[in-house]
Amino acid sequence: MSSWKGLLHAYDELLPLTEDTPKLSLNEGNTPLIGLENLSEQWGAEIYVKTEGTNPTGSFKDRGMVMAVAKAKEEGSKAVICASTGNTSASAAAYAARAGLRCIVVIPEGKIALGKLAQAVMYGAEVFEIQGNFDHALEIVRSISEKENITLVNSVNPYRIEGQKTSAFEICDALGDAPDVLSIPVGNAGNITAYWKGFKEYHESKGTALPQMRGFEAEGAAAIVQNRVIDYPETVATAIRIGNPASWSSAVEAAEESNGSIRYVTDDEILNAYQLLAQKEGIFAEPASCASIAGLKKQLESGEIAQGTKVVCVLTGNGLKDPSTAIDTVTVKPTVIPNSEEAFLEKIKGGAAG
């Protein structure tokens, strides 16, 4: 669709826009829904992935951020602030730059994937590393935004949810209806809330079906599953290293209303899915994203999801954001060769490099 101009153009009637809302855009949205040919056959289900890593800053956050920053600008705000495990800060920084607003981000020290940090600094955000985790950072920025004239652009900002719900619209449009199951990673729980809102709105206005919402937390950060705040969340999937999700109750509501569930997957399951997706399908998504694939695999194996089910897994972020985890995970490293064609040919003929 060459005339695509981003979400505020495409969904102007389905988003809370006014005549004064600036038509901010980095051409976000309209992301590919890709059928997983190999894994569908292997696992016995009809599996698609919504590749949100193809958004302008490489994650689903752009859908919510275009809306939140446009509204901040409309309301006369001069600055936006967020806490982030990385992707929110990258997205906020990009849209704030585009809109000419100041951007302040607070991230947990040492727990941000390298690509995400590179983005925030490149887009010109003022970056602060807190000696604490995401939950602490969110508490601080929430409090500051209540006292100062600075707009909070975490997913507790309702405009974020509005923007992010558009992915559900796109899935229904691409498939001609909702899938049976929507599988999605859960961190702060804004995205599962947004998808459920989107599916319900399309159900009301277009008569599409309602999918079961199946959310997946990381085992070491499974607050909702364990029904308790996790003081020191830990997981390789740093994007969802969150122990006290802000949209906790609406996530539970989405799971209950849709006859779905929220469960956890282990780091090993996440890393296994991460490699399978790349090596069997040619799709590189960041570890947190692969919680949706890991959860699906687990529930197909246990029978919780029946064979033949039509499932969309949300791949929330691009694999390139976190090169260190990729290099650490895969045991096969580039093979060093002498500067000689013959020696190289020898190696190739010997079988797989490495």
The reply to whether 179 sits near ligand F0G by the rule CB under 6 A is: no
Residue 188 interacts with ligand F0G (CB under 6 A)? yes
Shortest approach of ligand F0G to residue 97 CB, angstroms? 17
Using CB under 6 A, count the residues that bind ligand F0G: 22
Q: Does 288 bind ligand F0G (CB under 6 A)?
A: yes
CB of 263 to ligand F0G, least distance (A): 14
Chosen residue from 17, 80, 172, 189 binding ligand F0G by CB under 6 A: 189
108 binds ligand F0G (CB under 6 A): no
Q: Is 198 in the site for ligand F0G (CB under 6 A)?
A: no
Among 6, 29, 233, 317, binds ligand F0G (CB under 6 A): 317
- The structure tokens 């695999």 sit at 297
- Choose the binding region for ligand F0G from 78-86, 175-183, 268-276, 302-310 (rule: CB under 6 A): 78-86
318 forms part of the interface with ligand F0G (CB under 6 A): no
Q: Which is nearer to ligand F0G, 113 or 300 (CB)?
A: 113
The distance from CA 32 to its chain's CA centroid, rounded to whole angstroms, is 14
Written as six digits, the tokens of 275 are: 């490699």
- The residues of the shown chain that bind ligand F0G, judged by CB under 6 A, are 59, 61, 84-88, 155, 185-191, 239-240, 286, 288-289, 316-317
